[in-house]
Amino acid sequence: MYPVTLNSFVVPDVITKTGTLPPVPQAVWDDVVVLLPWTIYLFSGDKSALRTCWNGMRKYVDEVIPRDGDGLWDPQLWQLADWLDPAAPPNDPGAGRADGTLVADAYLVHVTRVMYRISKVLNEPDEVTEKY
């Protein structure tokens, strides 16, 4: 199995090694743990990526994402949100109008739906239905 850890913003991880950004979970970026194997399956029809990554995907969704009392992302954790907002200051693209927590929660809903679909493909729906 592949270990699931708190990932960085880039691969290879040259930013956290310099101490610029802390290695904290980030919606959308880290959701690739679930979305990439799913996309590989959709385009190839090969379930092996899903089978290989299943435990890591579950661990990411169940343990790595810091959650608030409502089960969504912890709103205290800063999220990237929309870095393409033309109204954001040029020197601070993260200050766009989109709320980072809203974007993170929207992706969490999407990733949860994908996890359910993966569970059906792998014949694991009972386990996932109880959680997701």
Contacts of 5 (CB under 8 A, 6+ apart): 23, 64
Q: What is the Cα–Cα distance from 50 to 35, expressed in whole angstroms?
A: 10
Structural domain count of the chain: 1
Return the number of other C-beta atoms located less than 10 Å from residue 16's C-beta. 16
Please indicate, yes or no, if residue 3 is contained in any of the structural domains.
no
Structural domain span for residue 48: 16-131
Q: What is the Cα–Cα distance from 61 to 55, expressed in whole angstroms?
A: 10
Please indicate, yes or no, if residue 21 is contained in any of the structural domains.
yes
Please indicate, yes or no, if residue 7 is contained in any of the structural domains.
no
Please indicate, yes or no, if residue 6 is contained in any of the structural domains.
no
pLDDT for 26-35, tens place per residue?
A: 898 889 999 9
pLDDT for 53-105, tens place per residue?
A: 999 999 999 998 999 999 999 999 888 777 788 888 888 877 888 888 999 99
Please indicate, yes or no, if residue 63 is contained in any of the structural domains.
yes
Helix, strand or coil, per DSSP, at residue 18: helix
The candidate with the shortest Cα–Cα distance to 95, out of 108, 107, 113, 82, is 82
Please indicate, yes or no, if residue 36 is contained in any of the structural domains.
yes
What percent of the chain has a predicted confidence (pLDDT) above 70? Answer: 77
